[in-house]
Amino acid sequence: MKILLIGATGMVGSRILNEAISRGHEVIAATRGNKKLEFLDNVVEIVLDVNDSEAVAEQASNVDVIVSAVSPRNTEDAFADAVTFTQSLIAVYHKIGKRILMVGGGSSLNMPDGTNALDLTPEGILPEASGMRRAYGMMVHEDINFTVLAPAGIIEPGERTGKFRLGGRTMLTNSAGGKGNISAEDFAVAMLDEIEEPKHFRTIFNVGY
């Protein structure tokens, strides 16, 4: 497949890029331009502003799917940033009709007891978390082909095991009933699995151990 990956140099995006390449996919790796990728086969690196829907649509016109690994910067403007880039992705879909997969946040999920996971989010990352939850809500209210994959709580660099659990909008918890976790490497495996064999449509699901 041919994939447009937006945010290809980020912590999660770079793992998605590596996983896609390992499976033989072609990737247009879009970055903000402040980092350079090492030379990789089957990768075309471009500088792209996710908020420029015309430019994104042009780059995505010949791909199979769009993957957004963009996260709002954790500042007081994070909520507005998430709304802006989500509006752009929605506009792109209406222009060219390509499936969109988004890296979501655990704050977009609900706990097993029904509690909104956003209510358990530390204040320091609340703007970013609120923005990601709003982004999911915006996608739901549009008639578009999208999927959001969220980590079950904590996501950080780690090991690629290929062994994990999948859940719906209810967060997969750890053995103590608290927020779960997933390595960025295994998150990427789950994302590529969904790209290759779509099973979740117009919804959010989560991955955790």
Set out the domains of the chain in order of their start, with CATH numbers: 2-208 (3.40.50.720)
- Give the Cα-Cα-Cα angle 66, 72, 77 (nearest 5 degrees): 140
* Length in residues, the chain: 209
Say how far residue 149 (Cα) sits from the centre of its chain. 6
Residues of the chain with pLDDT under 50: none
Query: What local confidence, expressed as pLDDT, does residue 178 receive?
Result: 79
Task: For residues 59 and 44, give the distance between their C-alpha atoms in angstroms, rounded to a whole number.
Answer: 11
Task: For residues 15 and 159, give the distance between their C-alpha atoms in angstroms, rounded to a whole number.
Answer: 11
Task: For residues 193 and 101, give the distance between their C-alpha atoms in angstroms, rounded to a whole number.
Answer: 12
Task: For residues 128 and 97, give the distance between their C-alpha atoms in angstroms, rounded to a whole number.
Answer: 28
DSSP single-letter state for residue 25: -
pTM metric for this prediction: 0.94
Query: What local confidence, expressed as pLDDT, does residue 74 receive?
Result: 66
Task: For residues 8 and 173, give the distance between their C-alpha atoms in angstroms, rounded to a whole number.
Answer: 28
